[in-house]
A and B are shown apart, each in its own frame.
Chain A
Amino acid sequence: MPLLSLHGVSRDFDVSRPWLNRVLEREPRRFLRAVDRVSFTVAKGETLALVGESGCGKSTVARLIVGLYTPTEGRVEYGGRRMQMIFQDPYASLNPRWRVRDIVAEPIRVLKLADEKDVKGKVAALLRQVGLSPDDGEKYPHEFSGGQRQRISIARALAGEPDLLICDEPTSALDVSVQAQILNLMRELQQRLGLTYVFISHNLAVVSEVADRVGVMYLGRLVELASAAQLFNAPRHPYTRMLLDAVPDLAMSGKARTPVAGEVPNPLAPPTGCTFHPRCPLAASLCRAERPELEAGVACHAVHGRIPAA
């Protein structure tokens, strides 16, 4: 029994012009499909990462899971008690007018997880758990660096005693040495507390450090879903291969990098069939006509041998 399952979840956003314009200019309502029939499951104790470029819908999926958006179609099933979210920007996600001890205590108070007399001790334990000192509870968020603020966000998330943490680009705003501290902390906490993570990131190298399984998104669709080992060693979808090729090669093995041509199309007018076909080296007429479904972890007509060899 998975902890979390998404069954064909889609989310549309209304991007119509104002009513008067629509009437006068005889324009129909327009919808942007940010997430398009996405299905996956997350088992207890694992880390599922969702990767993709900006606008691929990965953050919308995060918000659908925690219920900040309701799905337009499909459903989200959650078998745990609570879930919490960690956001990208540790400057925007902490109230600057609250002391850290109140920020961290808020979930405990709202969810009535402890008597008021025990809150102080709980907050101190949580701060210690994320590598801060209990005295830091008296300070305000501005007195902390970006990395320390992200630790406060993590302490606040843990205060709600969640089974599942949704982390939306938790280290993207941080410097690389601070990022390493936060990733190591998240890993320790997972081992110690048996947490489950859904980890959203655009950075494939970061994902390879944290993920057990990886889902690759493109224009609102899940195009590949595989174990991290398989995805990084033998990527199957042409888009995944392209993304991996584009990662700067720090090992300087001299492997020729193929800069990918083209850009992500406008999501208001996505290409027909497989949305990746305009940039795909394997595209054939079938790809323009028919949308490939996710089968055996990959959504691609060519990978499934449905395109006759030229």
Chain B
Amino acid sequence: MILEVRKLRVEFPTRHGTLVAVDDVSFSIAPGEVLGVVGESGAGKSLTGMAVINLLEPPGRIAAGEVLLEGRRIDRLSQDEMRRVRGREIGVVFQDPLTSLNPLYTVGDQLVETITTHLPLSHGQARERAIALLKEVGIPGAEARLDHYPHQFSGGMRQRVVIALAIAAEPKLIIADEPTTALDVSIQAQIIALLKRLAASHGTAVMLITHDMGVIAETSQRVAVMYAGRLAEIGPVRDVIHAPKHPYTVGLMGSIPKITPGAHERRLVQIEGAMPRLNAIPPGCAFNPRCPHRFDRCLVERPEPLPAGASQAACWLHAAA
């Protein structure tokens, strides 16, 4: 396993008590594997990603659990040590490419800086590598584009540059947080194809965080569904999409609009209500107020991930009788 997360808990201490934003989340990612992490806003998917790379905004902190990169704990490293891990061993791609790029430096300067920081290469060699990287992520005219500034690139091309930066030091793990959300569909398809190719050809593990199930279906081998800071379901992508086991996943899948004949004659599946706020997570199963199948146990006892087919679902419906 490249990445192993065990019983991760992220807390935000506030004046009105401690908010638990991520609670008891465990998963792992193998080399070359793309793990999709889906959930609606506030489900804790981005915070999980930020906790893995130790970039939680204070006062947020990891309150419990372990994060292991190739068997080595990285959640206890100092900021200096962690800075060497980020970039060298873990690459990061955010939603908005402009926040990851410095507008005052050319794309080439930024690539060369990243490469020389992490790899023992001379400036000239780093420049060669920068050109190779831009070519690899599909930027036409890489030699000339090296001396351009971020604002001279289109949105899709900028995201390619950010991906080039993320893979510059050949990291073992890439964390991509909504990498295609700011892009148009046609560009989105190009970026997805690129991420997929990189994971396969370099054996890089990818944690793909998104709210878009379609992107996950196209890219991931396994998918983790988050709800109210907890893992609702995790399993092979085909099973989670076609035979979801957790009632939340069932509702989520049904509410996604699909291009099918006669689509506008039928109603979309609706999950009543809304996800609870962090300060009002109900006892027992966090989904119980909205769940059509809830019974007594769901109101008092919190379900652990339980085997359900090829997946695991945190739902008492799957408890062995």
Contacts and interface: CB of A to CB of B under 8 A. Distances in A.
Chain B binds chain A: yes
A212 interface: yes
A215 interface: no
Classify the secondary structure of B's interface with A.
Answer: helix
Contacts of B154: 263
B263 A209 contact: yes
Given A180-B255, A248-B214, A232 B184 contact: no
Interface stretch (B54-62, B86-94, B109-117, B268-276): B268-276
A259 interface: yes
Contacts of B271: 177, 180
B17 interface: no
A285 interface: no
Interface of A is mostly: helix
A200 to B, nearest CB: 15
Contact of B217 (A145, A248, A261): A248
A257 interface: yes
Interface stretch (B22-30, B98-106, B126-134, B188-196): B188-196
Interface stretch (A27-35, A77-85, A158-166, A238-246): A238-246
Task: Tell which of B190, B217, B256, B268 has the most Cβ of chain A within 10 Å.
Answer: B268
Contacts of A261: 190
B303 interface: no
B14 interface: no
A257 B218 contact: yes
A128 B61 CA distance: 42
B41 interface: yes
A148 to B, nearest CB: 8
Nearest to A210: B264
Given A208-B264, A248-B215, A232 B186 contact: no
B185 A250 contact: no
Interface of B: 40-41, 154, 156-157, 184-190, 192-193, 211-215, 217-218, 237-238, 241-242, 251-252, 254-264, 267-271, 274
16 contacts: A53-B186, A176-B211, A179-B255, A180-B255, A180-B268, A180-B271, A202-B185, A243-B186, A245-B189, A250-B258, A251-B258, A257-B189, A257-B193, A260-B186, A260-B189, A263-B187
